[in-house]
Structure formats: structure tokens, C-alpha cells
Structure 1
């Protein structure tokens, strides 16, 4: 039963990040109009780099795919961890409305990293 729950969580987590990565390329989900000015300035600064958001999008898509494959889940969760740290910090500092979602996603990531600790242990 535990493995089924983990598989469902991994599939949903992976689909969320694949969707997020694809949105950065195709822009099919509009940004909320009620974003604080600080957040709008931050996103404008990120867009000004030109290469940063496509890099994050590629990492999100690849990690989302890896997370959905049981054999490569550990690598996917390690890859997505820095992105989630950024999401958490942006929500903590600039957009507090999304903080709950960031905490939930980081909690899932940490839980899955713990579940895959035997595979991740050689990294340390």
C-alpha cells in the first residue's frame, strides 16, 4: 500500500513540474494579475537574463520525467531540490500567498529523498 501511495505522489509531483517547465516555454498559463510589484520586478529581472528560465524549465521537465520512473526517482528529486529552494525563497520573500504550496512541495521532496536515502547516500 505504501508503494502505491508513493507512486501516485511521484506521478502527480512529476506532472506538476513537467507542466511548470512546459509553461515556461509555451506560456499557456497566464501570470496572476494581482502579483505584488516586487514579484513583477523579480520576474522581469529573471527574464532579462535570457538563459535562466529556459534552464530552469529544462531541469523541471527532466526532473519531472525522472521522478515518475521508479528506477530514477532519487536522481529526479535531487535535481528538483535547488529549484524548490528557489520557489520557497521567492514565496517566502516576495509572494507569501504561495508559501503553503512551496512548503507542501518541499515536504514531498524531502519525504521522497528520505525514502530514497539508500540510493542518495553515495553522494555524501
Structure 2
């Protein structure tokens, strides 16, 4: 079980490191998108600070997620981004919900495993 967790958490972290770097370096190909999704992308792109902020959060959270001592902080940092990814997929790209849902569940798993520490923040 430890090996499976290590693999899942490493893949999670690497996926967000890759997504964050792509926001800055634009090296991943963009697939053909529906016009409505293109409009959403253009709207996000028109807010000059938004994509760099999301990219920085993804990159930092992905790095934090790789290491057990900082994994909770990474999970807390990436959670709002994950909610946005889930909502975006639910509304505009339902075919992406499966993979987004898997990553969302991995994030929730880390948060659940650390619920005592999280509760301590609110005590």
C-alpha cells in the first residue's frame, strides 16, 4: 500500500508541476476546442495575472505534494484549483470529469488522512 500511495502522490505532484510549467512555457499542444470553451479560455487569458497565478500555485503545490512532510500544505494549496477544475469540467468538458475526479479524490484522500492537523487550524 505504501508503494501505491507513493506512486499516486508522485504522479499527482508531477501532473501539477507539468500543468504549472505549461502556464509559463506553453509547450503542451492545445486540442481542438468547442467555441464556448474557447471563449472561456480567452476570458481567462484577458485577465493578465490569473493564469500566471494559477500556474504558480500548481507548480508550488505540485512540488509540495511530492514530499510527505509538505504534502498536506500542497493539498490545501491545490484544493481551490481542483474545485475550479472539477467545475470547469462539469460545465464545459464533461469528458474530462473522470481524470479530474480521480485527482480530486487523491487530493481529498490526503486531506482526510490529515484531518486532525486541519482541525487544529480551526481550534
> How far apart, in 1, do the equivalents of 2:6 and 2:69 lie?
11
In the alignment, structure 1 segments of 5+ residues that lack a partner are none
Aligned to 1:94: 92
> How far 1:106 sits from its partner (Å)?
0.7
Per-residue CA deviations over 1:41-89 (Å, capped at 9, x if unaligned) read 0010000001000000000000000010110110100000000000001
Q: Is the 8 A contact 1:17 1:61 kept in 2?
A: yes
- TM-score of the pair, normalised by structure 1: 0.93
Match of 2:68 among 67, 70, 87: 70
> How far 1:23 sits from its partner (Å)?
0.6
> How far apart, in 2, do the equivalents of 1:116 and 1:3 lie?
16
> How far apart, in 2, do the equivalents of 1:123 and 1:89 lie?
27
> How far apart, in 2, do the equivalents of 1:92 and 1:100 lie?
10
The total of aligned residue pairs comes to 122
Q: Is the 8 A contact 1:67 1:76 kept in 2?
A: yes
Say if 2:7 is the partner of 1:4: no
In the alignment, structure 2 segments of 5+ residues that lack a partner are none
Aligned to 1:49: 47
> How far apart, in 2, do the equivalents of 1:84 and 1:12 lie?
15
Aligned to 1:16: 15
Query: Over aligned residues, Cα RMSD in angstroms?
Result: 1.0
Match of 1:39 among 31, 37, 40: 37
Q: Is the 8 A contact 1:36 1:95 kept in 2?
A: no
> How far 1:4 sits from its partner (Å)?
2.7
